[in-house]
Amino acid sequence: MNETTETTKNQRSAGILLPLFSLPSAHGAGCFSAEAYGFIDRLAQAGQRFWQILPIGPAGLADSPYQPLSSFAFDPLYIDLSRLAAEGLLHEDELHAMPWGTDPARIDYAAVRGGRAHLLPLAFQRYQRDPWIGRFEEENAAWLEDYALFMALRDHFGPAIPWCAWPAAIRDRQPEAMAHWRQTLSDEIAFHRWTQYECSREWEGIHGYAKEKGIAIIGDLPFYVSYDSADCWAHPDLFLLDDQRRPSRVAGVPPDAFSACGQLWGNPVYDWEALADTDYAWWTARVHRLASHFDVLRIDHFRGLAAFYSCPSDAEDACGGTWTTGPGLPFLARMQQEAGSTRFIAEDLGFLTPDVHRLRRDAGIPGLKVLQFAFDGDSSNAYLPHNYDSDCVVYTGTHDNNTSRGWFRTCGSTERSQFCRYAAITADREEAAAPAMIRLAQGSVAKTCIIPMQDYLNLDENARCNTPSTIEGNWCWRMLPGACTESLAAEIRKITALYGRL
C-alpha cells in the first residue's frame, strides 16, 4: 500500500470533486493539460488529500461519462493538444483555426469533438512510431484490439448506426469478417491504438505528479456499460441479449420521490451466471486496469451488487420493472482482491434496502452521505450529520445534485427552514448556503469530506453538472480560468485545518 493511501485510510481528510472536463482549457474542455497540474498544485496548497473525478472513458450517448463506449479506454477528448503542438505533431495556427466554443463556462461538445476529429488524425500522420507504443499495445492487447476495431467500424458505418445494425457477419464477429475489416481499416485501427497510447502516457504523468504532491485521485467505476460499446460487441455472452444481439432487458431504477416514472437508463443487463462461470474475468480485468489509474475507486450504483432493477427492452418507462438478486459479497471480495491497494467507496444512494447496507458493511467499504438529502424535517434522517458514524464519505452534493446555492434557491420551504435552523443561517441569504453546507460537512464525524468545486466557488444552479432523467445540457459546466485562486486555496485550507482534516 502506498504512503498516500495508507495515510488517508487512517485519518480525517478532505478533497474536492471536479470532473476533468470541467477544468479550464484553451481548447473547449478540460483535458490532460497544464491546467490539471495547476489544479493539483492548488489542492496541495489547500491542504486537500483527494481529487475526485468522474469516469474518463470515451463518452457515448449525450456525452455522458456513464454511457462509455469502452470500459477500458480513455476518451481522446482528454489528449492535450498543446503537448502535441510542443512535440511538433500539430501547429499552433491549426489549433487557433478551430472553433472551440464561445462560452468559457460551458462545453460545446460538437465544436470540441469536431475540432479533435480534424486535428488528432493530422497529429497521427506526423507521428513517428516510438518503441514504447509497441510495449503498450502488447500489454493492453486484450482490450485494445477490440476497442480499436470497434471504433474504426463505428467511424466507417457512422456513429448513429449501433453495432447490432452492422452487417451480420461483423456484428457477430465471424472470423472471416474480422480478418477482412482488420485489413480494410488497418490505418484507422492504428490511429485508435495511438490515441489510447497518448492518453495513457499523459495520464501517467498527471497521476504521478499528484502522488508527488500527496494527492490521491478518486476514480469512478460505472456499474453498467453502454449497449453501443466495444464491451458489449466483443463480449455479447456476458449480457442478456436476444438472438439479434439486442438487449432483452435494460437497466434503470423504479419510481421514487425524484421521478414518478423511475429512470430507464437503457444499459444492457449483465448475465451474472455467465460472468461467474469465467470467475468474473471481464470484471477483474476492468478493475485491474482502473486500479492502476487511481488510488480509490467509487463504485457507481453500488446497490446493483445486492439487487438490480431491470425492465423489458421495449418498456416506455421504468414503472414495470423487476428486482433480481445481484452477485453480492463473493463478487465484491474478488474485485477487492484484484484492486490490491486501491480502495473502494460505495455510491450507496437511491432506493436502499437492508441487503445493500449489509453488503457494504460486510465488505468493509465506506458509503456516501449527501447533505442535500438531509433536511426533510425528520431528525432521524440518515443524512443528517448527527446520525453519521465515522466510516463514511460526506458530500454537500454529488455530480447528480444541484450546487448547494442552487439547491437553496429551489428547494421546498420545509427543507429550507430545516436547513437554516440546523446550520444557523438566515433564510434570505442564499450566498450563505454553500459555506454553511461546507461547514456542516467539514465538521461532521465522517472520516472523509468531499466538496464539489462549484460549492467552494459559491456558484448557483447554472453550474450544475448533471440533472438525472434528462439528456440535454448535462456534463457541460467548466470552471472559469483563474477561478481557483491562491486566496481561495488559502480559505479552503483554513476550514480544512479548523476541522482537523489537513
The pLDDT tens digits for 396-409 are 999 999 999 999 99
Please spell the DSSP secondary structure of 204-227, one letter per residue. Answer: HHHHHHHHHTT-EEEEEE-SS--S
**Residue 62 pLDDT > 50:** yes
CA distances 396 to 272, 351, 435, Å, are 34, 19, 10
Summarize the confidence of residues 143-156 as an average pLDDT.
98
Of the pLDDT bands very low, low, confident and very high (cuts 50, 70, 90), residue 350 is: confident
Strands 448-452 and 392-395: parallel
Of the pLDDT bands very low, low, confident and very high (cuts 50, 70, 90), residue 258 is: low
Residues facing 323 on adjacent strands: 309
Summarize the confidence of residues 100-112 as an average pLDDT.
97
Q: Which of 85-89, 153-157, 222-226, 423-427 has the lowest mean pLDDT?
A: 423-427
Which helix (H) or strand (E) is 266 found in, with range? Answer: strand 263-268
**Residue 434 pLDDT > 80:** yes
**Residue 7 pLDDT > 60:** no
Summarize the confidence of residues 318-323 as an average pLDDT.
94
Query: What are the residues whose beta carbons fall under 8 Å from the beta carbon of 59, sequence distance 6 or more?
Result: 65, 67, 68, 69, 75, 77, 475
pLDDT digits (tens, 9 = 90+) for 356-414: 999 999 999 999 999 999 999 999 999 999 999 999 999 999 999 999 999 999 999 99
d(CA 110, CA 124) in angstroms, rounded, equals 21
> Which of 255 and 169 is assigned the larger pLDDT?
169
- Could you give the 3-state DSSP secondary structure of residue 414? helix
Which helix (H) or strand (E) is 346 found in, with range? Answer: strand 343-346
Summarize the confidence of residues 477-489 as an average pLDDT.
98
Tell me the one-letter amino acid at 308. F
- Could you give the 3-state DSSP secondary structure of residue 477? strand
d(CA 80, CA 101) in angstroms, rounded, equals 17
Q: Is-catalytic flag, 300?
A: yes
d(CA 112, CA 291) in angstroms, rounded, equals 29
**Residue 1 pLDDT > 70:** no
Summarize the confidence of residues 264-288 as an average pLDDT.
96
Question: What's the CA angle centered on 162, arms 160 and 168, to 5 degrees?
Answer: 130
**Residue 260 pLDDT > 90:** no
Least Cα distance to 444 among 500, 367, 364 occurs for 500
pTM summary value: 0.96
Burial of 141 (0-12, 13-18, 19+ CB in 10 A): exposed
**Residue 197 pLDDT > 50:** yes
Please give the pLDDT value at position 498.
98
Q: Which of 130-134, 328-332, 446-450 has the lowest mean pLDDT?
A: 130-134
For the chain, give the percent of residues with pLDDT over 90.
93
**Residue 119 pLDDT > 60:** yes
Which helix (H) or strand (E) is 298 found in, with range? Answer: strand 296-299
DSSP E strands: which ranges in 134-173?
none
**Residue 2 pLDDT > 50:** no
Q: Is-catalytic flag, 273?
A: no
Q: Which of 347, 348, 455, 460 is catalytic?
A: 347
For the chain, give the percent of residues with pLDDT over 70.
97
Record the cell numbers describing residue 238, joined without a space: 456476458
d(CA 344, CA 288) in angstroms, rounded, equals 13
Record the cell numbers describing residue 194, joined without a space: 495511438
Name the phi and psi angles at 280, rounded to 5.
60, 40
Summarize the confidence of residues 19-25 as an average pLDDT.
97
Least Cα distance to 295 among 208, 213, 217, 207 occurs for 217
Please give the pLDDT value at position 304.
97
Query: Looking only at Cα atoms, what is the longest distance across the chain?
Result: 71
- φ/ψ bin of 344: left (φ > 0), alpha (ψ from -120 to 50), beta (otherwise): beta
Q: Is-catalytic flag, 103?
A: no
Summarize the confidence of residues 424-440 as an average pLDDT.
92
Q: Which of 94, 108, 400, 461 is catalytic?
A: 400
Record the cell numbers describing residue 474, joined without a space: 448535462
Strands 392-395 and 216-221: unpaired
Torsion of CA 36, 38, 39, 43, to 10 degrees: 140
What's the half-sphere exposure (Cβ side, CA atoms, 13 Å) at 186? 4
Least Cα distance to 492 among 453, 444, 459 occurs for 453
DSSP E strands: which ranges in 381-423?
392-395
With contact defined as beta carbons under 8 Å apart, do 339 and 386 qualify?
Answer: no
Of the pLDDT bands very low, low, confident and very high (cuts 50, 70, 90), residue 9 is: low
Mean pLDDT computed over every residue of the chain: 95
Please give the pLDDT value at position 215.
98
Q: Which of 188, 228, 231, 300 is catalytic?
A: 300
